[in-house]
Amino acid sequence: MSFFTSVTSRLWLLAFCLVAPLSANASEAADSGDTAWIMTSTALVLFMTLPGLALFYGGLVRVRNVLSVLMQCFAIACVASLLWVVVGYSLAFSDGGEFNRWIGGSSNFFLRNVTRDSLSGAIPESVFVMFQMTFAVITPALIIGAFAERMRFSAVLLFSAGWLMLVYFPVCHWVWGGGWLADLGVLDFAGGTVVHITAGVSALVAALMIGRRKGFPERPMPPHNLTMTVTGAGMLWIGWFGFNGGSALAANGDAGMAILVTHVSAATGALTWIVIEWLRHGRASALGAVTGMVAGLGSITPASGYVGVAAAMAIGLTAGVLCYWITMYMKNVIHVDDALDVFSVHGVGGIVGTLLAGLFVATAYGGLGLADGMTIAGQLKVQLIAVVATIIWSGVGSFLLLKLVDMLVTQRVDEESEVQGLDLTQHEETGYNL
């Protein structure tokens, strides 16, 4: 009996010695399910810009400017992608040494340490790089809605590139790259501060500095193709599942809940806008429905990985109401020509969602739960600090950058070019040949 026991023990030991290295290697390999989901999410987020945002914005402008908006979205995607590879990823996600609270380092310029085998958590680092690149692509593209129909193409590209360097990369590092807001414990699951507040505040500064379109607000400037806009809005809604669900960086329950609350908030925001219009004007518009949807999507973005379904409804409702009234106030009372309502939808939605994430994360409200030692009041304070810091940084940075761009290339087209439209004067093409 002892002989067989001895032989059996030795066989088990031999098997363990042979299998253990394989198990160790397996633990260092990427998780195929997580990798597949983040690759899918990457495609969904890029789908939000090309073609989603391009069609959404393109339909909202007048017919003589449709091609210019499509071109701006397309070109910004190219500029942001290359800038992200050259310096952006490193500045956002690398260790910045003694300056790490504020900005990353240069260790990954040109992605020199990103290989086929390097990992970021359970996924290949190359996939993480590409996923985060799509966020850098869509954020400056959001801003173009503020100065649509009146900014030179060269100025758009210069501003977008400079804005990524001066505003987006630092804020991204503060929140997601181990910077000072991450140290404070800020909750921003998918970009309330990094994407929506930065873009919204910068859009407001741009609209004020560049000035109103000729004829605004005396002359009506309705969208030229709402069919295109609604189509683009549908693409944004679908793509947002990758935006928020992919930010879990895994195919798990967090991703599933993020997708669920994203959908619920979008539906609530859209219905809220519809009801307000119905009560005020006796009819509901397609433009109002899709605008409310975007308000719901933008507001749930920072909270999507932390809150439950009831909270998502509350966030979508709050954003729908606030974004509606601020949109009306800016257009009809103070006459700020934020042409496509970037600040009043994305900026305000991002602020609402970032603040409410600090409340609804508590288990008492069905959320994921506060960090150890953190109270609701303490978390709300952190969220408020993040909102204020992002507003100031984005506003001041955009102001300085727009001044510089105007000195270099003159950012606004002349009056004759604005009347003819940017399609012809900037690109010598037309959106339609009918």
Q: Is residue 325 part of a domain?
A: yes
Statement: residue 102 has pLDDT above 60: yes
Are the C-beta atoms of residues 407 and 157 closer than 8 Å to each other?
A: no
> Which DSSP symbol is given to 264?
H
pLDDT at 298 over 50: yes
Q: 18 vs 63, which has greater pLDDT?
A: 63
- pLDDT over 70 at 4, yes or no: no
Tokens found for residue 148: 């649509």
pLDDT in tens, 243-258: 999 999 999 999 999 9
pLDDT at residue 94 above 60? yes
Does 221 fall in a domain? yes
Largest CA distance in the chain: 101
At 433, the pLDDT band (50, 70, 90 cuts) reads confident
What token pair was written down for 95? 């260790």
Q: How confident is the model at residue 7 (pLDDT cuts 50, 70, 90)?
A: very low
d(CA 84, CA 164): 9
CA distance 355 to 378: 12
For residue 119, the SS3 value is strand
What's the full length of the chain, in residues?
434
Region at 31 (left for phi over 0; alpha for psi -120 to 50; beta for the rest): beta
Structure tokens at 327: 């949109």
Residue 303 CA to chain centroid, in angstroms?
13
172: Cβ contacts below 8 Å, ≥ 6 apart:
92, 93, 132, 135, 136, 194
Give the pLDDT confidence score for residue 429 in this predicted structure.
Answer: 95
pLDDT of residue 22: 37
Inside any domain, residue 3? no
Mean pLDDT computed over 269-295: 97
Provide the pLDDT for residue 29: 86
CB 273 within 8 A of CB 322: no
- Cα separation, 112 vs 85, in Å, equals 10
Q: Do residues 137 and 49 make contact, with C-beta atoms less than 8 angstroms apart? A: yes
**pLDDT higher than threshold 90 for residue 353:** yes
Inter-residue contact 64 to 423 (CB < 8 Å)? yes
From the number of C-beta atoms within 10 Å of its C-beta (0-12, 13-18, 19+), residue 10 rates as exposed
For 303-321, how does the pLDDT look when each residue is reduced to its tens digit (9 = 90+)? Answer: 999 999 999 999 999 999 9
Q: Which tens digit of pLDDT belongs to each residue from 312-349?
A: 999 999 999 999 999 999 999 999 999 999 999 999 99
Is residue 272 a part of any domain in this protein? yes
The predicted model scores a pTM of: 0.92
Domain ranges, residue 176: 31-427
Residue 252 falls within a domain, yes or no?
yes
Residue range 134-155: average pLDDT?
Answer: 97
| Per-residue pLDDT band at 434 (split at 50, 70, 90) | confident
The least confident of 25-34, 73-82, 139-148, 409-418 is 25-34
The count of domains in the chain is 1
Give residue 228's pLDDT band: very low, low, confident or very high (50, 70, 90). Answer: very high
Q: What is the CATH number of the domain that holds 399?
A: 1.10.3430.10
Taking 80 as the threshold, does the pLDDT of residue 60 lie above it?
yes
Whose CA is closest to 59, among 222, 225, 285, 221?
A: 225
CA-CA distance, 163 to 165, in Å (whole number)?
A: 5
pLDDT at residue number 14: 42
The residue behind tokens 């810009």 is 49
- Find the range with the poorest average confidence among 12-21, 58-67, 184-193: 12-21
| Residue 2 counted as domain residue | no
| 20 lies in some domain | no
Q: Find the mean pLDDT for residues 289-297.
A: 98
- Backbone phi, then psi, for 123, in 5-degree steps? -125, 155
Q: Would residue 198 count as lying in a domain?
A: yes
